[in-house]
Amino acid sequence: MEAENTHIKKYYKIGEVSKMLNVPASTLRFWETEFRQLKPMKNKKGDRIYSLKDIELLKEIHYLTREKGIKIAKATRKVSGGSAEPNPNTVLVKKLRELKEKLLVFKQALGE
């Protein structure tokens, strides 16, 4: 089963991340201007390349702004570590997303 996990990439193009989060690429570029922690690398052509860490940050931004309806100004404070300890709900959502991703990998490995 370990061999199936080797296909998980370390870097993703903006279009791939856009599909993952179901938001337009323009939204990702906008979030980059609003959240100073979000700094995707760029290749020689200038295309944005997102790391797994960037994607986790984007998932948190997406959760706060789209699912919770928090305004950008407040979300920037939450993401920048405005609170001393992480929100338990954010931690739970992160763990559930990780579990979901693992289950999807297993499902794909089983051919369903």
Tens-place pLDDT, residues 59-75? 989 988 988 898 988 88
- Which residue carries 């954010």 as its tokens? 90
Per DSSP, helices labelled H in the chain are 14-21, 25-34, 52-62, 72-79, 88-109
- Give the tens place of pLDDT for each residue, 32-51: 999 988 999 998 999 999 99
Q: Which domains does the chain have, with CATH numbers?
A: 2-109 (1.10.1660.10)
Pull the structure tokens for residue 6. 């080797």
- Give the tens place of pLDDT for each residue, 3-43: 445 566 888 999 999 999 999 999 999 999 999 889 999 98
Alpha carbon distances (Å) from 100 to 3, 75, 78: 19, 24, 24
- Which 3 state secondary structure label does DSSP give 63? helix
Triad 38, 53, 57: Cα angle to 5°: 50
